[in-house]
Amino acid sequence: MSDDAYDRMSTFSYNGEGEPDSFSLTQLRSVVDRYFLTSCKLEKLAEGGYHKVYDILRLDGAPLDAVVRVASPAFPKDKLESEVATCKMIAAFTNVPVPRIYAWNSDASNPVGAEYMILDKVKGTPASQNWGDLSEAIKKTVVTQIAHYLLEICSLRFESAGSLYLSPLSPHFVVGPIVSTPFYRALDGVVRIPNAPVSQDVDSNRGPFSTVTEYLSSNLRAELDFISNNRSVVLSELHEYDPTQVAESRLELGERVMRKAIELCSVYPGDALVPANITTPRRPFSLKFDDFRLSNVMIDTDTGRVTGFIDFEAATIAPLWECAVIPRWLQDADDPESSFEGGTSGERKVLRAAFLSAMEGSARYPEWREACDMGRPFRRLTDMLYFQVNVWASNDQDIWLDERLEWAKTHPGIGLPERDELQN
């Protein structure tokens, strides 16, 4: 089949924001051909704003049970390198089913024109695809396995926070700079400074972090640094956000509130919050999935067997209390920690009980549960730490921080109860 039968180029459009990036499908096929030592063709399986996934087939259509995933050039190479290391570490130290990664290239200036990885094609169907149609028994089978796997992942412990990388002394792993917003050039494809290269100014705020305080305050410090270096850009953003208010006044308020938030990070919870029965007190960090959706769990819809976990690009090393969480799609639909997927609150309640029941049989469960419960009010803080200054420039945020700073003076290591709990 001639090249003319294929699209030669593909693009990432970023939902219409900024100039699209393109890469060469012809060069990508050449990479795949060389790896498998045979002529192949690529068929698109999935496409998002920042990734494209292609099924790898022989020219006669026979499957090779592998896929190639291309990453948007909008993000720094650390993103792919960390995902590769995370997947390999999970495979090496747990029984969690993850795809085998055959080859990758994190240099977006390669002939393809984008980062890519060649990996196993995980059998099964994304759990999100038919979740609403599956029987309760099948769903319970799925969440029971997920409970066991998440406990295994939570048993991985680290002395510092950040993101995982392969060390030069492979197969060893190291914790390095964090791969998380706002450490991309673009946040969800929206470029704050058009045509600017990936910024190196934030590197000092990327870790790795030896303390919880350093980890928590990193986003705030990065935003304050951005303001210091790009004040006119931020003033323009604030004007667009709310033209009725004086941008300079809002910026000054936001800066003051953000500095107060950094103070809160040092005492609430700072480095004090470590479960009392933790077995490795000098290793208070574990592995966190920032994007653990049903679509990232592959299952056999007939039996409920989990065939694999995919997409580890948003995994980071974080405090245990931030990692020990019930999946958002099992939380009550009205809970702030929940997500849109998962069904009704009643359906989630049944499955959440099955999830916790499966965990209770493990010796690791008490530690996980304590970290989960103790960390809830602190996770409310971490949910805010990705915000840019326009969100912090609020008297309500100022009051919210003052309440917790006052509480921390007399309740070290204990989160401020929710308002409904205070009233009961």
Residues 313 and 405 in one domain: yes
Percent of the chain with pLDDT over 90: 53
3-state SS string for 14-50: HHHCCCCEEEEHHHHHHHHHHHHCCCEEEEEEEECCC
Q: How many domains does the chain have?
A: 2
Q: What is the mean pLDDT of residues 215-244?
A: 88
Euclidean distance between CA atoms 67 and 121, whole angstroms: 5
Per-residue confidence at 418, pLDDT binned at 50, 70, 90?
Answer: confident
Contact indicator for 207, 160 with CB cutoff of 8 Å: yes
Looking at residues 347-352, what average pLDDT do you find? 95
Q: How many Å apart are CA 173 and CA 193, to the nearest integer?
A: 34
Count of CB atoms situated within 10 Å of the CB of 47: 13
Taking the CA atoms of the chain, what radius of gyration do you get in angstroms?
23
Query: What pLDDT, in 10s, does the model give residues 30-49?
Result: 999 999 999 999 999 887 66
Q: Is 71 helix (H, G, I), strand (E, B) or coil?
A: strand
Query: Can you say whether the dihedral through the CA atoms of 165, 168, 173, 176 is positive or negative?
Result: negative
pLDDT at residue 5 tops 60? no
Say whether pLDDT at 186 is over 50.
no
For residue 89, the domain's CATH number is 3.30.200.20
pLDDT digits (tens, 9 = 90+) for 237-279: 898 888 888 999 999 999 999 999 999 999 888 776 555 454 4
How far apart are the C-alpha atoms of 398 and 286, rounded to whole Å?
31
Residues in the chain: 424
Shared-domain flag, residues 285 and 384: yes
In the chain, what is the greatest distance between 2 CA atoms, to the nearest angstrom?
A: 73
Return mean pLDDT, the chain: 84
* Whole-structure pTM value: 0.85
Q: Do residues 43 and 55 touch, judged by C-beta distance below 8 A?
A: yes
Q: Out of 3-17, 196-210, 328-342, pick the least confident.
A: 3-17
Per-residue CA distances from 18 to 5, 44, 195, 223, 385 (Å): 30, 24, 8, 22, 26
End-of-domain residue from the set 120, 137, 172 = 120
H/E stretch holding 308? strand 306-309
Q: What is the pLDDT of residue 413?
A: 80
Chosen domain end from 103, 120, 137:
120
What type of residue sits at position 336?
Answer: P
> Are residues 363 and 394 part of one domain?
yes
Looking at 98, 120, 142, which one is the last position of a domain?
120
Show the domain range for 131.
123-161+209-418
148-163 pLDDT per residue, tens: 999 999 999 999 999 9
144/249 same-domain check: yes
Residue 398: Cβ-neighbour burial (10 angstroms; 0-12, 13-18, 19+): middle
Tell me, yes or no, whether 365 lies in a domain: yes
Per-residue b or e along 238-262, where b marks 16 or more CB atoms closer than 10 Å to that residue's CB: beeeeeeeebeebbebbbebbebbb
Kindly state the average pLDDT of the residues 139-154. Answer: 96
Whether 272 and 146 have beta carbons less than 8 Å apart is answered as: no
| pLDDT of 421 higher than 50 | no
**Does position 354 have pLDDT exceeding 80, yes or no?**
yes
